[in-house]
Structure 1
Amino acid sequence: MPEDSAAKFDAVRANEYARQSRIALAGYDACHELTACMLAAHLGHDRPARILVVGAGGTAGEIIASAKLGPNWDFIAVDPSEPMLELAQRNIAEAGIQTRVQCMLGNVSDIPAQEPFDAAVMIGVLHHLPGAQMKADVLKQISIRLKPGAPFVLAGNYRTYASQPLLMAAWAERWRLHGASSSGIEAKMAKILQGADPPVSEEAVFSLLSAARFEAPLRFFSSLFWGAWLVQRV
């Protein structure tokens, strides 16, 4: 994630992230848990594995769930936002798995590619990257750090928000369901839209993945604009 995208995730946003993200994404915890389940189904839950987690700052839900399923899995977690990475580290420590997770402040391109990973995860990042080229670059950087055949879980918003006004209205109503006022809803929706640039369609996601040498996309979770897919490195 570039610095200007990462700057949105400051200390204020980090402090409210755990609650706000679970409202913004209906099924937030289910997505993270299913990510762990998909990895375990592909890798085998009892086999050793090194897993790269890109944009790991926040709840670290995908790491915590995966560590429960894969007792022999280790993780490298990278994020360019220091407040968000610190939040993840606190949650990882509370889960008692800090010896299995190496947290790095920076971008995926900062991680050496000489020792390829057995799997990778990137949740909630792609739609914050402006332009198709930046999205393609991040996916390529992940791809070259994976073993052939390795699974990669990608999750985030797809489809332009303006293309689905009914989904946008439902999204706003979800905030109302959780007690937000009309002015509060406007503020929340404005924050969601701030700097967001989701791929225009699922087909666009698949095209980006294919160009980065990923194949066989399988969507295993969906929620309004959000999708989660498992693919394999060619």
Structure 2
Amino acid sequence: MWWNPLMTHPPPSPGSVFFNAAAVARYTEGPPRVVPGFADMHRMTALLLAERVPENGRVLVVGAGGGLELLAFARAQPGWSFDGVDPSAEMIQLAGKTLKEHASRTRLHHGFIDDAPEGPFDAATCLLTMHFVEVEERRSMLAEIHRRLRPGSPLVVMHMSFPQDEAGRSTWLARYAAYAVSSGVDGQDARRAVSAIDSQLNILSPEQDEAILRDAEFSNVSLFYAGLTFRGWVAYA
């Protein structure tokens, strides 16, 4: 789940668009244009999960609204089943439409991690979501994901993560805007998006992100993806 400047005009606060039906209807247009290597990131995630998930494995997807990663995983692994959870009813509804051909092996849950099934799951993902979550809530969220995983199961996370000193933050946000514009986003919309991201998202440095994963008792934390302002890690319960 990722807010993007194509969902509304002008861009509102990043999180609010997920509860706006008109904005949600345009969701799938945005992520491929503002997230470098979006489709490849999904493909890499599926490959990392497949290293340990059995052919009939069960996967938890946190922040599943829209259903784009669920669709990618379902197409890659016809034997897996999925539980997806998201706090936006509108985004869950969109995910249901996206996953129509795979509905028999996908269950969608409206709510937060506490509303997800207990598991145990063979893997979990949380893509383009953590930057919406306050730091302390992020710690408890990761702990709840860990509790639902079988020992040794992989977790893949990916979200905005870049240096947080003043100069570094400014530089990386400018690069986000430049990439969006190069993908066809209007320059004024991109600047408004950066302003909203800067003031409202909970972005940490890569070092802080890795530390929080370890604090939640995940081990062997490894970077697998870096695309300008975004980073992705695989870790194990």
**TM-score class, shorter:** 0.7 to 0.9
Partner deviation per Cα, 1:118-175 (whole Å, 9 max, x = no partner): 1101001111112x21110110110111111111111111133853333322221222
- Deviation of 1:19 (Å): 1.6
Task: Report what 1:16 is aligned to.
Answer: 26
Q: TM-score with structure 2 length normalisation? A: 0.86
Partner deviation per Cα, 1:58-91 (whole Å, 9 max, x = no partner): 2x23212222232221000000011111111111
Task: Report what 1:30 is aligned to.
Answer: 40
Task: Report what 1:129 is aligned to.
Answer: 133
AA aligned opposite 1:153: V
8 Å contact from structure 1 (residues 155, 226) kept in 2: yes
Distance between the aligned counterparts of 2:70 and 2:223, measured in 1? 20
Task: Report what 2:161 is aligned to.
Answer: 158
Task: Report what 1:80 is aligned to.
Answer: 87
How many residue pairs end up in the alignment?
A: 223
**Which of 61, 64, 80 in structure 2 is aligned with 1:53?**
61
Q: Secondary structure at the match of 1:208?
A: helix
Q: Secondary structure at the match of 2:71?
A: helix
Aligned positions of 1:104-183 closer than 5 A = 104-113=109-118, 115-130=119-134, 132-159=135-162, 160=164, 162=166, 163-183=168-188
Distance between the aligned counterparts of 1:230 and 1:180, measured in 2? 30
Query: Does residue 43 in structure 1 map to residue 75 in structure 2?
Result: no
Distance between the aligned counterparts of 2:185 and 2:53, measured in 1? 42
Q: Secondary structure at the match of 1:97?
A: helix
- Deviation of 1:5 (Å): 8.1
Structure 1 runs (4+) greater than 4 angstroms displaced: none
> Cα distance 1:169–1:7, how it changes in 2: closer, same or farther (>3 A)?
closer
> Cα distance 1:42–1:190, how it changes in 2: closer, same or farther (>3 A)?
same
Deviates more, 1:80-89 or 1:48-57: 80-89
AA aligned opposite 1:204: Q
Gaps of 5+ in 2: 2-12
Gaps of 5+ in 1: none
Distance between the aligned counterparts of 1:155 and 1:181, measured in 2? 25
- Deviation of 1:23 (Å): 1.8
- Deviation of 1:187 (Å): 2.3
Distance between the aligned counterparts of 1:19 and 1:5, measured in 2? 16
Partner deviation per Cα, 1:178-227 (whole Å, 9 max, x = no partner): 3344322222323434520112x222112111111100012111111211
8 Å contact from structure 1 (residues 33, 62) kept in 2: no
Q: Secondary structure at the match of 1:164?
A: helix
> Cα distance 1:166–1:89, how it changes in 2: closer, same or farther (>3 A)?
same
**Which of 175, 185, 190 in structure 2 is aligned with 1:185?**
190
Q: Secondary structure at the match of 2:25?
A: helix
> Cα distance 1:86–1:191, how it changes in 2: closer, same or farther (>3 A)?
farther
8 Å contact from structure 1 (residues 219, 229) kept in 2: yes
Q: TM-score with structure 1 length normalisation? A: 0.87
Deviates more, 1:97-106 or 1:157-166: 157-166
**Which of 187, 209, 231 in structure 1 is aligned with 2:235?**
231
- Deviation of 1:112 (Å): 3.8
Identical-pair percentage:
27
